[in-house]
Structure 1
Amino acid sequence: MKLKSFLSNLPARVILLIYSVIVLYPLLWTVTTSFKTTNEFYENPWSMPKSFQWTNYINAFKEASIGSYFVNSVLVTLLSMAICMILSFMAAYVISRYDFKAFRWMKKMYLVALFFPVAFKIVPLFQLLGDMHLLDSLFGLVLAYSATTIPFTIFLMAGFLESISKEYEEAAMIDGCSRFGVLFRIIAPMARSGMITVAIFNFMSYWNEYIMALSFITTESKRTLTLGIAYLMEVQRYATDWGALFAGLVIVMIPTLVLYALLQRKITAGINVGGLKG
């Protein structure tokens, strides 16, 4: 019986194994290459490093200014997440709780906004930030990131909030809780799994974003990590420190991998609760 079950699941296991190798091998290759010297890289890019060159990471931080780019990315990502999550949470609550025709149309408009490619938003955002004197500003980049992800965040978060019974709110209001108290003291803790799920999606979007950062940021000291890595790749056309380049790539990947590894169960639980409803 066990053999029959194993054989019936064998095709799926083989497909998943092949997919895992396709996904993991480039990641492992990037990590191992970040510890190589330039000579080792040119001799055989696919071999393991003879010794771990930790100086590649030091060079990435000092000579390539990856450290300052990293700080810029952290600030932009955290501020964008804070603005987007707070505004979207309140808007999603109103849309999911009040059954007005205008709110139903508003939800559809948010859904339509999901289908606009980023390239269509660059020119109007560039003009708007220029009128607000926020071009080449990290705060302007924060506003652009937050605004472009609000439709996605509201659409997903409304699905989570619709799965929470209104009886909890009614009981809290009977006990004298205000509307804002109900929102932040009752609903927010109950929607924690959904909020974490949406926050992770937004984090990966902000952290890996390149087009808007390239379009709105020109000063070198204000570059985000993705711009810094792209600049470092351009420099490598005329230099030889490939170890520092791959070390920078690993630095970009680490926060996303760590965050997803720590919150994987909460993300899965959030999706099962109702993140794909609506």
Structure 2
Amino acid sequence: MAKNNQGNGKKSKWIMRIILLIATVIFVYPLVWNIIASFKSNEEILDSPWALPTALRFDNFIRAFTEASMGEYILNSFLVTALSMVILLILVVPTAHVLARFDFKGRRFLHNFYMAGLFIQPVYIMIPLFLMMNNLEMLDNRLWLSVVYAAGALPFSVYLLTGFMRSIPKEYEESAAIDGCGYFRTLLTIIAPLAKPGILTVVIFNFFTFWNEYALALVLLSSDEKKTIPVGLANLMEVQRFATDWGALFAGLVLVLIPTVTLYALTQKKLTEGMSMGGLKG
């Protein structure tokens, strides 16, 4: 009986490995093909899309930066993402601290209010949001787009970081109070460093969200010089349909993927651990 169980367990492991291998090929192959195509000429892409390039054409990346303005789009995305992250952290760290560490009248209602925000994303209320920002003359402004991003990410970030805050022993705050630390100083010097894994998870998770967001950036930004990567890349795809500069298009796609793939490769372990820890402790 034990041997049969062991045999079934080994079969299950091999089946799981085969499934994972197939899934890896399905997800990795388009990425590899995109990288290969970014070094090809237009003729090679059209005549032999599955073959390796005869030469590495780095001029595709140069044209993507200069003629397709990918460098400007990347800079705008970095600016919007950084602003959104700063605004989000300024809001989420004290909010999560209050909800996790203090007991006051209305705390439960406030917590549920933030949790309800998980089901209301800014893209769902895009039309009234556009009309409101238009009346307040906030359109075509990267700062206000960053505020919208931060506000949309606030509910989930509060939920995630609250779980980390609750896991910190209250003895640290009691010791800080005995030493004369106020609430704000305790948050900055005691709670925030101890909650660094949760804060890092919030930063990593929302970086991908802000970097890849398309719908709001398309609606709220109208100037070409202010467009972020997803909008600029979509415009580039439309242009390349008629210009037939496919090499520059695929080079632009690679440039867009480099920051996200690199960040995920470096932090995927911390991201998955942080998500599970925050969910369990919350």
Q: TM-score, normalised by structure 2?
A: 0.93
Q: Which runs of 5+ in 2 are unaligned?
A: none
Give the root-mean-square deviation of aligned CA atoms.
1.8
Q: Which residue of 2 aligns with 1:248?
A: 252
Provide the identity percentage. Answer: 48
CA contact (8 A) 2:40 2:54 kept: yes
Q: Which residue of 1 aligns with 2:178?
A: 174
Q: Which residue of 2 aligns with 1:266?
A: 270
Alpha-carbon separation, structure 1, partners of 2:219 and 2:93: 29
Q: Which residue of 1 aligns with 2:58?
A: 54
Q: Which runs of 5+ in 1 are unaligned?
A: none
CA contact (8 A) 2:41 2:247 kept: yes
**Superposition map of 1:1-278 within 5 A:** 6-278=10-282
Matched AA of 1:60: A
Matched AA of 1:193: P
Alpha-carbon separation, structure 1, partners of 2:182 and 2:166: 20
Q: Secondary structure at the match of 1:51?
A: coil
- Give, in angstroms, the shift of residue 3 of structure 1: 8.0
Alpha-carbon separation, structure 1, partners of 2:88 and 2:229: 21
CA separation of 1:152 and 1:4: change in aligned 2, threshold 3 A = closer
CA contact (8 A) 2:121 2:152 kept: no
- Give, in angstroms, the shift of residue 5 of structure 1: 5.9
Alpha-carbon separation, structure 2, partners of 1:2 and 1:50: 51
Q: Secondary structure at the match of 2:68?
A: coil
- Give, in angstroms, the shift of residue 272 of structure 1: 4.2
Alpha-carbon separation, structure 2, partners of 1:92 and 1:149: 13
CA separation of 1:47 and 1:113: change in aligned 2, threshold 3 A = same
With 161-170 and 2-11 compared, the bigger mean Cα shift is at: 2-11
With 167-176 and 220-229 compared, the bigger mean Cα shift is at: 167-176
Count of residues paired in the alignment = 278
Q: TM-score, normalised by structure 1?
A: 0.94
CA separation of 1:41 and 1:217: change in aligned 2, threshold 3 A = same
With 255-264 and 234-243 compared, the bigger mean Cα shift is at: 255-264
Q: Secondary structure at the match of 2:241?
A: coil
Matched AA of 1:241: D
1:92-122 CA-to-partner distances (Å, cap 9, x unmatched) read 1101112234121111121111112443221
- Give, in angstroms, the shift of residue 183 of structure 1: 0.4
CA contact (8 A) 1:236 1:242 kept: yes
Alpha-carbon separation, structure 2, partners of 1:57 and 1:258: 18
With 265-274 and 136-145 compared, the bigger mean Cα shift is at: 265-274
Q: Secondary structure at the match of 2:243?
A: coil
Alpha-carbon separation, structure 1, partners of 2:260 and 2:51: 26
